[in-house]
Amino acid sequence: MMKELSFEENIEKLNKIVETLEKGNLSLNDSFELFKEGIEISKILENMLNEMEGKITILVNQEEIEFHEEENDV
């Protein structure tokens, strides 16, 4: 079973793919496969960001509710 990479590890992996593709010394097929892997990593990163955004939204909403409850208690 593969370990799930962190956001930072995925960014680093994606950056290495971009650097390799920018060198332009791969065959068309190898470039395509690497590009495809980069797209998959981009989707993983997008999902991670969306998940974190959801958690932040929940946290902010909780804080707003608690703040308003405290205001009403005064």
pLDDT, tens digit, 9 for 90 and up, residues 10-69: 999 999 999 999 999 999 999 999 999 999 999 999 999 999 999 999 988 888 777 777
Exposure string over 22-45, b if 16+ CB within 10 A, otherwise e? eeeeeeeeeeeebeeebeebeebb
Using alpha carbons only, what angle is made at residue 31 by residues 26 and 36, rounded to the nearest 5 degrees? Answer: 160
**Count of CB atoms situated within 10 Å of the CB of 50:** 10
Q: What is the pTM of this model?
A: 0.77
Model confidence at 73, in pLDDT bands (50, 70, 90)?
low
Single-letter amino acid, residue 8: E
Which three-class secondary structure state does DSSP give residue 1?
coil
